[in-house]
Amino acid sequence: MNTNKLTVSHAPFWHDGDSLFQMNLNIMIATLPAIIFGIIQFGAPAVGVLALSLSSAMAWELIMNLVSKKKPSIGDLDAAVIGLVFGMMLPATSPWWLVITGTFVAVVIGKMIFGGIGANPFNPALVGMAILMLSWKIFFDFDAAYVNYEFGFTALAPLAALKFQGASAVADLFPVSDLIMGKQVGAIGSTFGLGLIIGGIYLILRGYIRWEIPVSFIAGILVTAYCFNLSNPDTYAGPMIHLFSGYTLIGAFFLATENSSSPANRIPMFLYGFFAAVMIILMRNIGTYADGTILAILLLNLVNPLIDTIRPKALGKGVNNA
């Protein structure tokens, strides 16, 4: 009689040959269209901010690995992605200390103290951005940040102009075609809408993000903004302005879709993306911030564990064979 026992771990057992390194490398590749455009538009300072953000994020993770006496984990490129996405949300004129402080908060507080990759309940890059925006709001006044730049288009941040001047006053200043092609003032990696869409579609096709969150997110932006615009078109801008301005598209494809802080089930994904977008429009139209993307997605990160418990009920009744 064979008394050998087969001991296995919990499912799943299938490995498709992919890795964290491959996933994060592909995310970095997907950011290239927006990043390259941002560097062309904002010049050498943008290169410095992005390089410092990426390198300091990796350095903070390595330091935490050493302090906690764990094997260095920077080889999986997760810290590099955090640093890169964080840098994309900063203006090109950000001082060095602001970048380093932000990456410290993002990596150490937003990720490592929760146990590292896969254990963080909030998107680490958003945690860093939220702390900076609440502490040093002046550095995120894009109109002031680029006062010494010369652009071939209206050198105003669309959402700030919308917030303080109203939709009727800015309707002619920001054609949607210009916004799509990045002719707007903003963060390094958030102005080129077409590039962010290309990067997002690339990640969806490669299977690194699910389509449900970006689609429901964009739908939420369009529906909510349209309702506000319908009620008062002189005060509230149409959906296209909101979709292609500020952090909207980087939020749809690179922030809301972060694996550890977003739902794993389909219905929760639709709810998560849609209500994150609803909160963004509410904050923009009736809140104090010109762009509420950062705080809105963090809020949905907070309620994500509750949302992700929603599952469809099976049809029929189970049969008890006992």
Per-residue pLDDT of 99-114, as tens digits, reads 999 999 999 999 999 9
Quote the CA–CA distance of 115 and 277 in Å, as a whole number.
29
Considering the domain architecture, whether residues 201 and 169 belong to the same structural domain is answered as: yes
Query: What pLDDT does residue 2 have?
Result: 54
Q: How many domains does the chain have?
A: 2
Helix, strand, coil % in the chain, rounded to nearest 5: 60, 0, 40
**Same-domain pairing of 105 and 58:** yes
Question: Cα 158 to chain center, whole Å?
Answer: 19
- The confidence score (pLDDT) of residue 314 equals 59
Domain final residue, candidates 107, 138, 169: 138
Alpha-carbon gap, residue 54 to 81, rounded angstroms: 7
Based on the domain organization, do 283 and 230 belong to the same domain? yes
Given pLDDT bands bounded at 50, 70 and 90, which one contains residue 14? low
CA gap 267, 309 in Å, rounded: 10
Given a cut of 60, is residue 11 above it in pLDDT? no
| pLDDT exceeds cutoff 70 at 95 | yes
Q: Which of 81, 105, 138 is the last residue of a domain?
A: 138
Query: Is the domain of 301 the same as that of 168?
Result: yes
Q: What is the pLDDT of residue 274?
A: 96
Residue 15 domain-assigned? no
**CA neighbor of 19 nearest in space, from 82, 79, 78, 80:** 78
For the purposes of burial, counting CB atoms within 10 Å of the CB of 288, is it exposed (0-12), middle (13-18) or buried (19 or more)? exposed
Q: Is the pLDDT of residue 46 over 90?
A: yes
pTM (whole model) above 0.85: yes
Please, what's the largest Cα pairwise distance for the chain?
A: 86
What is the pLDDT at residue 4? Answer: 56
Whether residues 119 and 189 share a domain: the answer is: no
Interval 123-172: pLDDT, tens: 999 999 999 999 999 999 998 889 888 887 777 889 988 888 878 777 77
- At 107, which amino acid appears? V
Q: What is the pLDDT of residues 208-222, one digit of tens each?
A: 999 999 999 999 999
In a domain, 104, yes or no: yes
233: domain range?
Answer: 156-306
Task: Work out the percent of the chain whose per-residue pLDDT is above 90.
Answer: 65
- What tokens were used for 310? 């929603």
Mean pLDDT of the chain: 89
Distance separating alpha carbons of residues 123 and 322, to the nearest angstrom: 47
What pLDDT score does 22 carry? Answer: 93
The confidence score (pLDDT) of residue 166 equals: 79
DSSP 188-238: TTTS-HHHHHHHHHHHHHHTSS-SHHHHHHHHHHHHHHHHHHHH-TTTS--
The 10 Å Cβ neighbour count of residue 246 is 29
Residue 148 belongs to some domain of the structure: no
Mean pLDDT of 62-91: 93
Query: Do 189 and 86 reside in the same domain of the chain?
Result: no
Residues 6+ apart with CB under 8 A from 132: 98, 101, 102, 105, 139, 140
> Are both 179 and 116 inside the same structural domain?
no
pLDDT mean over 73-84: 93
Q: Does residue 261 carry a pLDDT above 60?
A: yes
For residue 195, name the pLDDT band (cuts at 50, 70, 90): very high
| Helix or strand holding residue 300 (H, E) | helix 293-307
Q: Give the residue ranges of DSSP H helices in 71-211.
A: 78-88, 96-104, 124-135, 142-145, 158-165, 167-170, 176-180, 193-206
Residues 195 and 106 in one domain: no
